[in-house]
Amino acid sequence: MTEIYQADRIEEAAQALRDGQLVAFPTETVFGLGAIASNDQAVQAVYQVKGRPSDNPLIVHLAHKEDLFDYVKDLTPDQRSWVKKLQDAFWPGPLTLILPVKEDVFAPTVTGGLDTVGLRMPDHPLTLQLIEAVGFPLVGPSANLSGKPSPTKLDHVRHDFDGKIAGILASQPTRIGVESTVLDLSDPRGLFILRPGHIARGEIEAVLDGPEVSYPDQLRVEADQQPKAPGMKYRHYSPHETVYAVTADRMAEVIQAHADQAIFCAGREACLAGLPAVAQTYSLGPDLKTATQRLFDALRGADDCSDIDLILVEWIDEGEASAGYQNRLLKASVQVFD
């Protein structure tokens, strides 16, 4: 049985990790599945328990900003300057930085064979205490079965991994609800966002005050290519039933076109108001912030409904601010009605 560690049992959770076991922990984004980043057997267990492809690299979580420099190498003056500016602005927080990694500091399975690593400092006091107690950084991919919606609640983790991992560090639902923005600082061609998230491109550019930040030509790599960041190669966030992303002004039309099906409809309050009757609705709250925080819970809720044929989720376009929400919903959806 998986142990639930309350805040006064952090040392027990840390000991389980030091013993090579897996412990899930909360962050401001989603719950992560933790293992000591230098323990190759434990890191391999993360891949095995999740059913995660071995070429999909893991992000390493740090307890202190300055720890980053213990694990990266050959930084140019520009890279060092960018790191310090970004850390001052966004750490602890939902920004992962990809940089050249020193040899032999992490288990080889952490990087998936790459010469770079993604590092971040999570903005959650319990998890920072946990990493500090362990005495070494932790890997922390989302604590869900690979391909399924990421966990924003303790119960989501327990649903996927009860009896399969040593424990879960208990906490309230996560504050942001989607994984961190991943920024690649290692590419000589420029600075690239490999995974959109809560921190938008414009915010990063404002902090760096000079370099342009862009998206690569494609955020998805081909089957024979190695992804530099999670989420670039494999299908994610997918419930069992078909998901359509639908703008609020087309939601009623799509519902009526599928009137013979049992529909689960998730949208913001204004979107749900006045819609034709459906089998089940889920409120994403009043605005983009709450919609992002609740998106994965909505997809998991739909997955738990045995009598649903189709899932409709509101498509929200508020420019760069909605990039993280759109990215996750696109990965879950088969079609967008906009």
Q: Which residues are annotated as a binding site?
A: 29, 52, 56, 61, 116, 120, 142, 150, 180, 195, 237
**Reduced to 3 states, what is the DSSP secondary structure of residue 112?**
coil
Binding-site residue numbers for L-threonine are 29, 61, 120, 142, 180
3-state DSSP: the chain helix, strand, coil percent, rounded to 5? 30, 20, 50
From residue 287, give the alpha-carbon distance in Å to each of 48, 197, 203, 318.
37, 16, 20, 10
Binding-site residue numbers for ATP are 52, 56, 116, 150, 195, 237
State the DSSP string of 243-281.
Answer: EEEE-GGGHHHHHHHTTTS-EEEEE-HHHHTTPPP-SEE
Question: Which residues are registered as beta bridge partners of 182?
Answer: 96, 195
Angle, CA 20 vertex, CA 122 and CA 56 arms, to 5°? 55
Rg (CA), the chain: 20
Residue type, 107: A
Residue 324 CB contacts under 8 Å (≥ 6 apart), including other chains:
178, 181, 196, 197, 198, 292
In whole angstroms, what separates CA 334 from the centre of its chain?
20
Label residue 61 exposed, middle or buried (CB < 10 Å: 0-12, 13-18, 19+).
buried
Pairing of strands 181-184, 191-195: antiparallel
- By C-alpha distance, which of 54, 23, 91 is closest to 230? 54
